[in-house]
């Protein structure tokens, strides 16, 4: 299962989530999370005017909050390794991915 984000992708396979971001400049390694280790998920659908996001919450770490401003309004910062901004066209795929992760951690 794969969700195409604004600057990267999220894949879910065999109980593992991989968040691969495509930064400008320095190359960042993908982040792998085990679905059983996740304590919660946050999903905000994208709209015509703003991008949404998928964020995974882990024990012992604080979730990055939503930013303000015109370009980043309503989503976590790009530097948050456990989230990815998504466009409106990826809402259905993101909803299915979040449901699969919730069921796996369940």
Residue 72 DSSP label: T
> What are the φ/ψ torsions at residue 24 (nearest 5 degrees)?
-85, 130
From CA 1, how far away is CA 31, in angstroms rounded? Answer: 16
What's the pLDDT band for 74 if we cut at 50, 70, 90?
Answer: low
Measured CA to CA in angstroms, residue 29 lies from 19, 23, 65, 79 at distances of 9, 10, 23, 13
From the list 46, 53, 52, 33, the residue with the least C-alpha distance to 101 is 33
pLDDT of residue 21: 87
45-62: pLDDT as tens digits:
998 888 899 999 888 765
Q: Which residue has the higher pLDDT, 27 or 87?
A: 87
18-28: pLDDT as tens digits:
999 887 666 77
pLDDT of residue 86: 92
């Amino acid at each position: 299962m794969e969700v195409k984000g604004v600057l990267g992708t999220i894949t879910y396979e065999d109980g593992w989530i991989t968040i691969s971001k495509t930064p400008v400049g320095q190359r960042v390694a993908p982040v792998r999370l085990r679905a059983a280790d996740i304590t919660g998920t946050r999903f905000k659908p994208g709209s015509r005017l703003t991008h949404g996001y998928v964020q995974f919450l882990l024990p012992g770490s604080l979730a990055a909050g939503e930013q303000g401003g015109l370009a980043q309004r309503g989503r976590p910062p790009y530097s948050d390794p456990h989230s990815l901004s998504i466009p409106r066209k990826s809402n259905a795929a993101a909803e299915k991915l979040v449901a699969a992760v919730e069921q796996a951690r369940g």
